[in-house]
Amino acid sequence: LLADKDTQIDGIVSVNGGAIYSAQQNYAVDTTPPAGTVTLNPLTPDNLIDAQEAGQTTLPVTGKVTGDFKVGDKVTVTVDGKPYTGTLDAQGNFSIPVPTAALIADTDTKYEVTVALTDGAGNTGTASGANDYNSNVAPPANNVAISLNPVTGDNIITVAEGQADSITLFGKVSGAFTAGDVVTLRVHDQILSTTVDAVGNYSQIVSMAALKADPDTQAEVSVAAKDPVSGKINTVGTSQDYTVETDGSGGGNGGSGGGSGGTSGKTVAMYIDPVTSDNVINASEAKATDTAITGRVTGVFTPGDQVILSVNGKPYSGAVNAQGAFSINVPTAELLADYDTQIEGRITTSAGTANAVQNYALSDSNTNGANTAIGGTSSGAAIEDSTTQASGSLSVTGA
């Protein structure tokens, strides 16, 4: 077929030695890979990450592909060796959130974008581009951390819970901070502010409508923490992914689906516990060979489903038990070396994929100074403080 110069198939049939019938079928040959061009927008309006932009949990890498492509073609952004993926829309546009900490920490301040193109004939090809940007802020501070407790306690907003006008989100700042430091919470199109108390606790009332309407169903939080010793302001952030269930009435909540059947009782979520009792790895805890990272999967899962954690760019996996709890040993040295002191986790079950992150801090005694970390944990449910330290391995459990 490929060698046929006239790309035509001829057919002849003789009926009982009499009448002869013939037919032709023309066809086309297209083996040319799709050709496309990637145009990248500036990372920020001036292509420079400033102090205010550094306080955002993520920054969107945006651009447009022209030429041969299809809706849904995969886009991969590589920052400091780590991939972040998204897809093209009908106009060839893409927007992929990338952790701001990763962009700041990238030593060459350059990200690469690769698009896996597909044309109408099914041929595949690639198009690529790169953007050099600048940053006038230092890599994220590792002597302060902020955590956000699971939304509604289990990161699943049920149909019943979704009837409320609002809920209160709780969290904690640990490490080097000062009472009164401002915490900024972002949900959908709302930006809310509150402050931390003397032991780092904070809370904020959030509109349920905003939580349900958030297209990425992710609450983002950051704190501008003043080091009580140096007076330096360090901004760190984290987030909490959650799921919104629907009742099948056709309402779409935050991309969770809707229509016939709804998603009530058919979703999955997860969260990661604070890394240590106070979410600060102190000098004694830093000597442990391994640290057990714990958390829980909620909603639809099967015992044995695998949780995958990423620490310092390396994967570590473990299974959930019948209650959804997991405990995965991670080399403490990798936690100490992680540039953004943040653990990323994910799990895929029959209900879909859930993600979670946990930010943590390092005591200055592990780095280059002396700092007393503030202990304790605050959440919607009481969690008991612990001062137990391990010399060989460290195991932290949580609800």
360, 280 in Cβ contact below 8 A? yes
Per-residue CA distances from 392 to 35, 67, 309, 318, 338 (Å):
56, 58, 22, 20, 21
Residue 115, H or E segment: strand 110-118
Is the same domain home to 131 and 155?
no
Per-residue CA distances from 37 to 89, 220, 325, 349 (Å):
15, 33, 46, 37
Whether 328 is covered by a domain: the verdict is: yes
Tally of domains within the chain: 2
Residue 214: closest CA among 187, 244, 240: 187
Over residues 87-113, the mean pLDDT reads: 91
Residue 27 has pLDDT above 80, yes or no: no
Is the same domain home to 167 and 113?
no
> What is the reported pLDDT for 264?
83
Q: Which domain holds residue 186?
A: 144-368
Is the same domain home to 96 and 129?
yes
Q: What is the pLDDT of residues 159-175, one digit of tens each?
A: 999 999 999 999 999 99
Q: What is the pLDDT of residues 257-291, one digit of tens each?
A: 444 467 888 899 999 999 999 999 999 999 999 99
Whether 397 is covered by a domain: the verdict is: no
β-pair type (393-395, 74-79): unpaired
Among 135, 160, 190, the domain-final residue is 135
pTM exceeds 0.95, yes or no? no
Tokens representing 121 are 């004939």
Is the same domain home to 43 and 95?
yes
Is the same domain home to 127 and 190?
no
Per-residue CA distances from 164 to 40, 155, 161, 211 (Å):
42, 15, 6, 11
Among 118, 135, 152, the domain-final residue is 135
Whether 97 is covered by a domain: the verdict is: yes
The total of other beta-carbon atoms located within 10 Å of residue 66's CB is 13
Whether 304 is covered by a domain: the verdict is: yes
Is the same domain home to 294 and 344?
yes
58, 146 in Cβ contact below 8 A? no
Whether 399 is covered by a domain: the verdict is: no
Q: What is the pLDDT of residues 71-89, one digit of tens each?
A: 999 999 999 888 999 999 9
Is the same domain home to 59 and 157?
no
Residue 337: closest CA among 354, 308, 314: 314
> What is the reported pLDDT for 12?
72
> What is the reported pLDDT for 265?
84
Tokens representing 241 are 């992914």
What's the rounded Cα separation, in Å, for the pair 256 and 262? 9
Is the same domain home to 101 and 178?
no
> What is the reported pLDDT for 6?
67
* All residues at 6 or more sequence positions from 186 whose CB lies less than 8 Å from its CB, including other chains: 57, 192, 219, 220, 221
* All residues at 6 or more sequence positions from 9 whose CB lies less than 8 Å from its CB, including other chains: 24, 25, 26, 27
Whether 376 is covered by a domain: the verdict is: no
Is the same domain home to 314 and 212?
yes
Percent above pLDDT 70 for the chain: 81
Whether 174 is covered by a domain: the verdict is: yes
Whether 393 is covered by a domain: the verdict is: no
Whichever domain contains 94, its CATH number is 2.60.40.10
Is the same domain home to 152 and 246?
yes
Among the listed ranges 10-14, 28-32, 198-202, 378-382, which one has the minimum average pLDDT value?
Answer: 378-382
Residue 377 has pLDDT above 50, yes or no: no
Is the same domain home to 219 and 332?
yes
Q: What is the pLDDT of residues 39-74, one digit of tens each?
A: 999 999 999 998 788 778 789 999 999 988 999 999
Is the same domain home to 309 and 268?
yes
More confident residue, 141 or 290: 290
